[in-house]
A = this chain, B = another copy of it.
């Protein structure tokens, strides 16, 4: 399990798609006080930018997502991760909107992250990569949007960590966002969520093949640790009800109990599969850096402890969505966000969608989600004067 990651190699030369490079002589400023450069941003676009450059939609991906939002994934061969929402005739209609999605800074799908080569040393960054934040990710995306000649985004949308980026965009660039759709997210990472992330990081760092982060240089892969991290995280993406309905106490490929430590129950087999497929497409150090960026997210802290102040200057219309069975980013977090938006006199609508699918509902076929987002997008497009 440890040394087999056929699809994932340092520097990712074979990953298809577009690239922007932020040069070393004008590097990306970071929240930790340093800079990073050069920075390659790997991104995909779908649809066409209209003449007014007014129909651009930025999709922000979650912790283990990437830029392949609406096309077959080059490593897994699976459909894009948000094809339910993005595509011809979908809510984010690629015949109407210009969709942009970029791999985040710190990621492992072509954007500069800990597995890429540090030009200063000729070796993969590993742990010499700087700890980055949601703010840094969004600052890099702003470079991309500028380079595409887009002055103002029609919409910024994302779920989970993607939703954190949506909020960061609205706060950092209040004039640049016409509509914002933060889904299943929070304005700060909770103690429980930090705790779960810490378990995942400790699982990775406990793997001797992690080699203090230098596994790429030393020719190992901390696959066992990364797999355990993914398994623990995956439970938090579902709900107890969903797990019960899907698996219950059903046995895997057997009629009777075997009294052993094999994957006897279907839910065990499913989890092990989640772990073993994940390590084929994801870099362990990226997992450390991106979970850390989420832990650091606390939008109010950057605005004197008052979340409402983060949105004082924003001209965006907000559509906040949560799911009843999401216990990772529960509705209470969205409600706190909505209170702050109200206090900032922002234009906001808020919907809590009833579902038993848990946090992952934002990625699944959830008709009410599409209805809510579709109505909001339609109204905003009209106000923006976008053609049908």
Chain A residues close to B by CB (< 8 Å) = 31-32, 127, 130-131, 188-192, 194-196, 198-199, 201-203, 205-208, 224-225, 227-228, 231-232, 235, 238, 240, 243-244, 246-249, 257, 259-261, 263-265, 267-268, 271-272, 275, 288, 292, 295-296, 298, 327, 330
Chain B residue numbers with a CB within 8 Å of A201 are 261
Chain B residue numbers with a CB within 8 Å of A206 are 203, 206-207, 224-225, 227-228
The A contact surface, by secondary structure, is helix
Chain A to chain B contacts (Cβ below 8 Å), 9 pairs: A130-B259, A191-B240, A192-B238, A194-B249, A195-B268, A199-B235, A203-B206, A240-B330, A249-B298
CA distance A81 to B272 in the complex (A): 34
Rounded to whole Å, the gap between the CB of A56 and the closest CB of chain B is 31
Docked-complex contact B240 and A199, CB < 8 angstroms: no
CA distance A249 to B207 in the complex (A): 27
Docked-complex contact A271 and B231, CB < 8 angstroms: no
Supposing A191-B244, A196-B235 touch, asked if A265 and B295 sit within 8 A by C-beta, the answer is yes
Supposing A32-B259, A228-B202, A228-B206 touch, asked if A194 and B268 sit within 8 A by C-beta, the answer is yes
Chain B residue numbers with a CB within 8 Å of A244 are 190-192
Chain B residue numbers with a CB within 8 Å of A198 are 231, 263, 265, 267-268, 271-272
CA distance A330 to B224 in the complex (A): 31
Docked-complex contact A199 and B232, CB < 8 angstroms: yes
Chain B residue numbers with a CB within 8 Å of A330 are 240
Given known contacts A191-B246, A196-B235, A206-B206, what 11 new A-B pairs fall within 8 Å (CB)? Answer: A191-B240, A191-B267, A192-B238, A192-B243, A195-B243, A199-B228, A202-B231, A203-B203, A206-B224, A206-B227, A264-B295
CA distance A131 to B201 in the complex (A): 31
Which residue of chain B has its CB nearest to the CB of A213?
B261
Rounded to whole Å, the gap between the CB of A191 and the closest CB of chain B is 4
CA distance A90 to B248 in the complex (A): 40
Rounded to whole Å, the gap between the CB of A279 and the closest CB of chain B is 12
Chain B residue numbers with a CB within 8 Å of A292 are 261
